[in-house]
Chain A
Amino acid sequence: MTTPATGVGAPIRRKEDHRFITGKGNYTDDINRPGQTYAVFVRSPHAHAKIRKIDAAAARAMPGVVGILTGADLAADKVGGLICGWMIHNKDGSPMSAGAHPALADGKVRYVGDHVAVVIAESLAEARDAAEKVAVDYEVLPAVVDLASATAKGVGTIHDVAPNNVVFDWHLGDKAATEAAFKKARHITRITLANNRLVPNAMEPRAALGDYDAGEDSFTLYTTSQNPHVARLILSAFIGIAPEHKLRVIAPDVGGGFGSKIYVYAEETVCVWAAKRVGRPVKWVADRTEEFLAVAHGRDHLTHAEMAVDEEGKILAIRVKTRANLGAYLSTFASAVPTYLYAPLLSGQYDIPAIYAEVETVYTNTAPVDAYRGAGRPEATFVVERLVEVAAREMGQDPAKFRLKNFVKKWPHQTPVIMMYDAGDYAGSMRQAQKLADVAGFGKRKRDSARNGKLRGLGYSAYIEACGIAPSSAVGSLGAGVGLWESAEVRVNPTGNVEVLTGSHSHGQGHETTFAQLVAGRLGIPIEQVSIVHGDTDKVQFGMGTYGSRSGAVGMSAIVKALDKVEAKARKVAALCMEAAEGDIDFKDGKFTVKGTDKSMAFGEVALQAYIAHKFTGQQLEPGLKEGAFFDPTNFTFPAGVHICEVEIDPETGVTKIEKWTAVDDFGTVINPMIVEGQVHGGIAQGVGQALHEGTVYDKNGQLLTASFMDYGMPRADDLPSYSLGFNGTAAPSNPLGIKGCGEAGAIAAPPAVINAITDALGHEEIAMPATPQAVWLAVQKMAKSIAAE
């Protein structure tokens, strides 16, 4: 296969890189406004406490202090609380129990790091010094920290609206059909597992800079956001900072998000509000420990799952009971993650007649939990791929053959849990991955390892995800408070260069390149003549932002729609200029030609004619060349693939070394393979991090023990292997480009691949994530004991 040098499919080097490699990026903390002040938050040192009194007198007297604000000031200004934008109903139809979420505490704190007050001063150092002088009198309450016992009698109530700490008790699927299938089962596999809590840790800590223009009575918020328009909508319509037309939200260069920068947080709310209060711009930048304490965490499920299999090894049903930790407050999309982003993926890549899932979500005195790379889908994949693996092993079947037997083989395929898989080739990806991973040679490699006193294991993960989030009417019916289309505007300038305004937001994904690549290819102009504008609500009319691998499938599709309109208009201009019928105009490689003649106009000439408008009258055609579009997909997209992880374990130390990583993914159409491969690498690294390194630990009092890079296992260069990747694309029918999305795949696929490989090496089915050397070493000891006992 040849790789094109330009346009769709070309590994074009990134346009945005020049500024990043020369230190000219423009991140929120790089922005400063005249008269700027600095905010430091007074945070709760207790996981659960009543605030008896806040005494700020001594702090106010400290040098440089401009203002100290508390929840009482927010209430006085009628600033609303933070919201959760997805309504989930209980099994009995009643709505979830959403506790109030004030940006600054209203008499009570609910996790260590909760926001009590903000100190604003002339310098950061002065703000820090003064914050230490704010005296808060707490009445400490018992903390609810352990997920398993969070609803037990007498543990204490976190929100009055949820006396037993249950946010909702939800289910999906056909319970009766599932029970019936289990009754017919020849074999039932049962597993209990935890999906460990993770801290997203984008390298750029969150930051916000609020500015208020008294002359215009308008606000500007610079913030580290993946979706500035959604932030503005929430800050306007729900929190009540200012009407949308009086609030500009700018998300400039953003240093990674992984979900954690989707949400509207207390700090940015306070900075923009306080800017008017103190009459000066207010800047806040999180230090890393504040990020650990107060950013929305990810995952944190406890699950018991069962799989029913018939005598031929066909899966009959899956039954899942999950308890999910949502932390102390409901973050912006928290309720959607363990429900509609989770249970509809429990069919995996398999043809399973019956599925029933029950999910109970609870409050605990820990940081809020929301979507983190993959969001619900890694949790579902971990359940399914562990079930499948364990079932195959228990039944003495080859795990790959067991998967191949049960894969969906015809599309469209309606699962029993909402999703209609529309295109794929699961068996093809498995075979391609097995070849690339040299599975045939694994036996020899295992023997070689054994000779060296090492244990070698091989683990599969056949994941699927629902991306390109998503048809608005579908998500609306499931409880979403917003639609999930995307918008685009293509502005052709008179000199033929093009600005594309998109509601997608790039925070590492390379949109400035891939989007420009698409536009340049379509219009037949050099990529240098295309710029992508995003991240500013004053420039882009509206957009839903970037998450859920939606920017290609939904965001780029909106650009295609707008380009269709631009081309249609340009054809009219060309026809009038060349005095030909519109139907006789061809457009190819940036040239408009009149069929059967040698008349032609370059795209740039047509653009100029569209604006000078000398060759047609206003009655014939409106001047100008600028078109907008909104695109709402007809379905989710379903990226899927097979990852194979091969590990070697040193039983003496418990250290797991990943020897080989193979991934074959179906992302549909790939616009820029270099960028897509980069997304896969990064996703796998985060998944490997979850499987081997990253564990978030609270002590019994709710103190976060892993609150720095000294304590939390961020994967480093020497923890990870290089990866061997392949693509097996089948076009997605739900968008014009056939894109499925690639951003989350690695993080979804990787954890079960690692754990399946480790348990294969150990011959042991219990190992919790993160499988640290200590955990693996303990499992090795247990294995040795059980062998000795036999």
Chain B
Amino acid sequence: MATVSMTVNGKAVSGNVEPRTLLVQFLRENLRLTGTHVGCDTSQCGACVVHVDGKAVKSCTLLALSCDGSDVVTIEGLAHDGKLHPMQEAFREHHGLQCGYCTPGMIMSAIDIVNRKGNALDEHTIREELEGNICRCTGYHNIVKAVEAGAAAMGGKAMPMAAE
């Protein structure tokens, strides 16, 4: 067993883990932050995406020990004082989720896309950038709309309402 310490959602945490423990296991099993999901074992589906030191990573492909000293943000760390992050709000507004299982990873990836590509995202860019996140429910149509709207809202623009 080894000791690992990191900041998760703004709080200092530490734990004793087997060296083979993955970051996602540490988050889910040690910290009981079960919003981060595991949907595959080949780093393909993206249900486990969290932010480590400001970058989106697949937490199923990272050892917890390799994140020692890192700053980790999970889906549970996005809303503040009861106020949703604009990307969370956009997923709800645009019906960008059905079963909800891929959603935390989608939202974490979407925020990362905005961080890298800016607030004005076109459909083509969003679809290409979501290559590493699989959804089986939505056919991506509404996820694409949600990411576009969420990106704009993160830039301070008013959230466009879903077309009805």
Chain A interface (Cβ < 8 Å from any Cβ of B): 3, 11, 13-14, 16-25, 27, 29-30, 125, 201-205, 253-256, 258, 285, 287-289, 507-510, 673-675, 677-679, 681-686, 708-710, 714-718, 720, 722-723, 746
How many residue pairs link A and B with beta carbons under 8 A? The number is: 184
Known: A3-B164, A23-B74, A508-B98. A681 touches B141 (CB 8 A): yes
4 other A-B residue contacts (CB within 8 Å) besides A14-B95, A25-B101: A17-B97, A205-B38, A683-B139, A708-B42
Neighbouring A residues of B99 by C-beta, 8 Å: 202-204, 253-256, 507-508
Q: Could you show 28 A-B contacts with beta carbons less than 8 Å apart?
A: A13-B93, A20-B104, A21-B91, A21-B103, A23-B36, A23-B74, A24-B35, A25-B34, A29-B34, A201-B136, A202-B99, A203-B39, A254-B99, A255-B100, A287-B40, A288-B41, A510-B98, A674-B164, A678-B137, A678-B141, A679-B98, A682-B136, A682-B139, A716-B130, A717-B130, A717-B144, A718-B128, A720-B141
Q: Which of A202, A255, A714 has the most CB of B within 10 A?
A: A255
Please give the distance in Å from B5's CB to the nearest CB on chain A: 21
Neighbouring A residues of B74 by C-beta, 8 Å: 23
Question: Do B131 and A717 have beta carbons less than 8 Å apart?
Answer: yes
Known: A258-B136, A684-B139. A203 touches B45 (CB 8 A): yes
Question: Do A125 and B107 have beta carbons less than 8 Å apart?
Answer: no
Question: Do B136 and A203 have beta carbons less than 8 Å apart?
Answer: yes
> Which single residue of chain A is at the shortest CB-CB distance from B79?
A22
Neighbouring B residues of A255 by C-beta, 8 Å: 37, 99-102
> Which single residue of chain B is at the shortest CB-CB distance from A20?
B100
Give A673 to B142 CA distance when docked, in angstroms: 13
Contact of B126 among A29, A288, A683, A717 (CB under 8 A): A717
Neighbouring B residues of A204 by C-beta, 8 Å: 37, 39, 99, 101
Closest 8 CB pairs of A and B: A23-B35, A255-B101, A20-B100, A685-B139, A508-B99, A23-B75, A681-B139, A709-B44
Neighbouring A residues of B133 by C-beta, 8 Å: 717
Known: A21-B91, A22-B75, A23-B74. A256 touches B98 (CB 8 A): yes
Question: Do A288 and B42 have beta carbons less than 8 Å apart?
Answer: yes
Please give the distance in Å from A108's CB to the nearest CB on chain B: 28
Q: Which of A25, A201, A287 has the most CB of B within 10 A?
A: A25
Please give the distance in Å from A109's CB to the nearest CB on chain B: 23
> Which single residue of chain A is at the shortest CB-CB distance from B147?
A717
Count B-side interface residues using an 8 Å CB cutoff. Answer: 56
Give A30 to B27 CA distance when docked, in angstroms: 12
Contact of A716 among B76, B79, B101, B134 (CB under 8 A): B134
Known: A23-B35, A23-B104. A682 touches B41 (CB 8 A): no
Neighbouring B residues of A17 by C-beta, 8 Å: 91-92, 97, 100
Give A746 to B138 CA distance when docked, in angstroms: 11
Give A285 to B41 CA distance when docked, in angstroms: 12
Neighbouring B residues of A30 by C-beta, 8 Å: 28, 34
Question: Do B164 and A723 have beta carbons less than 8 Å apart?
Answer: no
Contact of B40 among A258, A674, A709 (CB under 8 A): A709
Give A1 to B95 CA distance when docked, in angstroms: 22
Question: Do B140 and A685 have beta carbons less than 8 Å apart?
Answer: yes
Question: Do A20 and B136 have beta carbons less than 8 Å apart?
Answer: no
Give A24 to B77 CA distance when docked, in angstroms: 11
- Which residues of chain B in 1-55 are interfacial with respect to chain A, using CB atoms and an 8 Å cutoff? 18, 20, 28, 33-42, 44-45, 47
Please give the distance in Å from A418's CB to the nearest CB on chain B: 31
Please give the distance in Å from B74's CB to the nearest CB on chain A: 7
B65 an interface residue at 8 Å Cβ cutoff?
no
Known: A11-B164, A205-B39. A678 touches B138 (CB 8 A): yes
Neighbouring B residues of A253 by C-beta, 8 Å: 99-100
Neighbouring A residues of B34 by C-beta, 8 Å: 23, 25, 27, 29-30
Give A491 to B45 CA distance when docked, in angstroms: 41
Neighbouring B residues of A510 by C-beta, 8 Å: 98
Question: Do A21 and B88 have beta carbons less than 8 Å apart?
Answer: yes
Give A27 to B164 CA distance when docked, in angstroms: 31
Known: A13-B93, A258-B136, A709-B40. A23 touches B128 (CB 8 A): no
